[in-house]
């Protein structure tokens, strides 16, 4: 099922917040306005107390948007703030992306499309909602430098392309949220990160869902995560040397597809003691994979893992035919550590493969994401090259965006 931007109509207004407040039914709320009896008030209080005890207070908060999942699902973003419209593709100045995210309590929308070439890193503020799907055409891409949400909170970021590449500082990442909290990234495409594609050290309550994390360069790392309460769900990880993610955290890792890895889901031996729910993920080897069992790497007895429904396809025969796999050398949990894991698990690993390849990343797909998807679909049976359906350069791990063979210096175009 292909989901386009039109499937998510956006209404931005300071008078009508993006978040739909649907936590209390109208029939219950109406008791107050009609002069409820003491009995009814008692019943309402009792039922509210029951919900708090049974489901936790976070379940009563409004979602960031319909379909938000995991630990970052209650991020408030710029709700109730002002709308800032990006009107040009310039690096800076009035109407630029840099100016739009320089102050908090904003809902950032776009009336332009194409690449924004950054000449230096952008530092974002707290309390932001960034909606790339308001852009006409096929959307917005950020190239050339890091976008940082470091030490900030309450971020909702949807339908954006973050593609750092060799134009930027090699000591930075495509997206950096170090020291941040309460964030959700949905339908974003992260490619060509130099340090990591996604750097998240000392963070909490973060969700990355429906995203593509592919083709990191320099270190060739996918995501560096340290902290607590992360959710990675329904994401596509492609051609990373390692860190898919590096999980120095307690997390949920659900229904991800990981292709052409050298080292997959990783826990550093000195990272500490954490809990991991690893459910219904599909690991698929490619030309860069020398040891298929390294789909789980540096796991150790200090890590408590609930693992179920994970598959590994390791024969590179062009057909999807994986078999069961689970991390070894860990403390095995018989049930998830996170109370929401079972409710978030809605697909088998095989179903997740079909869903993720048509739904992850910014939609509709541009040239670069089309190339990435076509490489995954070869299931390890492609040839070295730059065109659709090839394996990319050598083992399929990139050192520069120029190796894609696409226009615009390898970034491709966003028409």
DSSP bridge pairs for 295: none
How far apart, in whole angstroms, are the C-alpha atoms of residue 287 and residue 280? 23
Marked catalytic residue, from 98, 158, 163, 243: 243
Instruction: Find out whether 195 and 220 touch, Cβ atoms under 8 Å.
Output: no
Among 271, 261, 279, 245, CA closest to 349: 279
Q: How many CB atoms lie within 10 A of CB 276?
A: 27
161 given a catalytic annotation: no
The sign of the torsion formed by the CA atoms of 120, 99, 130, 365 equals negative
For residue 172, what are its two tokens?
A: 């930075």
Three-state SS annotation for the chain: CCCCHHHCCCCCCCCCCCCCCCCCCHHHHHHHHCCCCHHHHHHHHHHHHHHHHHHCHHHHCCCCCCCCCHHHCCCCCCCCCEEEEECCCCCCCCCCHHHHCCCCCEEEEECCCEEEECCCCEECCCCEEEEHHHCCCCCEEEECCCEECCCCEEEEEECCEEECCCCCCCCCCCEECCCCEEEEEECCEEECCCCCCEEEEEEEEEEEECCEEECCCCCCECEEEEEEEEEEECCEEECCCECCCEEEEEEEEECCEEECCCCCEECCCCCCCCEEEEECCEEECCCCCCCHHHHEECCCCCCEEEEECCEEECCCCCCCCCEECCCCCCEECCCCCCCCHHHHCCCCHHHHHHHHHHHCCCCCCCHHHHHHHHHHHCCCCCCECCCCCCCECCCCCCCCHHHHCCCHHHCCCCC
Instruction: Find out whether 359 and 2 touch, Cβ atoms under 8 Å.
Output: yes
Q: How many CB atoms lie within 10 A of CB 201?
A: 18
Which residues are designated catalytic?
A: 243
């Amino acid at each position: 099922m292909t989901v386009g931007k039109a499937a998510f109509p956006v209404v931005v207004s300071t008078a009508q917040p993006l978040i739909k407040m649907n936590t209390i039914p109208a029939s219950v709320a109406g008791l107050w306005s009609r002069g409820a009896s003491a009995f009814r008030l008692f019943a309402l209080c009792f039922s509210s107390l029951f919900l708090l005890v049974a489901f936790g207070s976070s379940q009563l908060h409004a979602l960031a948007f319909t379909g938000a999942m995991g630990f970052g699902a209650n991020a408030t973003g710029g709700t109730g703030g002002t709308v800032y419209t990006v009107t040009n593709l310039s690096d800076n100045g009035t109407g630029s992306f840099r100016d739009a995210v320089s102050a908090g309590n904003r809902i950032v929308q776009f009336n332009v499309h194409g690449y924004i070439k950054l000449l230096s890193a952008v530092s974002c503020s707290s309390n932001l909602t960034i909606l790339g799907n308001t852009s006409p055409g096929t959307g917005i891409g950020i190239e050339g430098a890091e976008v940082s949400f470091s030490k900030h909170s309450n971020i909702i970021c949807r339908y954006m392309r973050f593609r750092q590449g060799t134009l930027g500082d090699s000591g930075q990442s495509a997206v950096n949220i170090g020291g941040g909290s309460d964030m959700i990234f949905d339908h974003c495409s992260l490619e060509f990160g130099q340090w990591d594609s996604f750097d998240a050290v000392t963070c909490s309550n973060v969700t990355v869902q429906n995203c593509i994390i592919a083709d990191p360069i320099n270190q060739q790392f996918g995501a560096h995560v340290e902290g607590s309460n992360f959710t990675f769900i329904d994401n596509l990880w492609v051609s990373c040397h390692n860190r898919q993610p590096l999980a120095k955290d307690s997390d949920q890792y659900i229904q991800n597809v990981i292709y052409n890895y050298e080292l997959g889901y990783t826990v550093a031996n000195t990272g500490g003691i954490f809990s991991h729910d690893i459910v219904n993920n599909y690991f698929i080897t490619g030309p860069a994979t020398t040891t298929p069992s390294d789909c789980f790497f540096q796991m150790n007895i200090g890590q408590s893992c609930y693992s179920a429904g994970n598959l590994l396809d390791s024969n590179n025969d062009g057909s999807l035919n994986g078999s069961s796999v689970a991390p070894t050398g860990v403390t095995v949990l018989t049930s998830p550590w996170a109370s929401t894991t079972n409710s978030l698990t809605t697909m088998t690993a095989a179903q997740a493969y079909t869903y993720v390849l048509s739904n992850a990343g910014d939609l509709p797909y541009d040239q670069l994401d089309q190339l990435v998807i076509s490489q995954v679909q070869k299931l390890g049976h492609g040839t070295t090259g730059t065109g659709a359906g090839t394996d990319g350069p050598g083992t399929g791990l990139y050192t520069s965006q120029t190796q894609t063979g696409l226009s615009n210096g390898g970034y491709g175009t966003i028409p």
